[in-house]
Structure 1
Amino acid sequence: MSNQQPNNPLHGVTLQQIVTALVEHYDWDGLARRIDIKCFKNAPSIKSSLTFLRKTPWAREKVEGLYLSTFNRHAPRRIV
Structure 2
Amino acid sequence: MKPIPFLKMPKSRAKFLLAVCTEIYGRRPFTLDEAMNVYFQAVGCEDEGAVVNALCSWLKDGRSFPTPADLRLLIEFSPAQGQASTT
TM-score by length of 1: 0.33
TM-score by length of 2: 0.31
- Structure with the bigger RCO (C-alpha within 8 Å, sep 6+) is 2
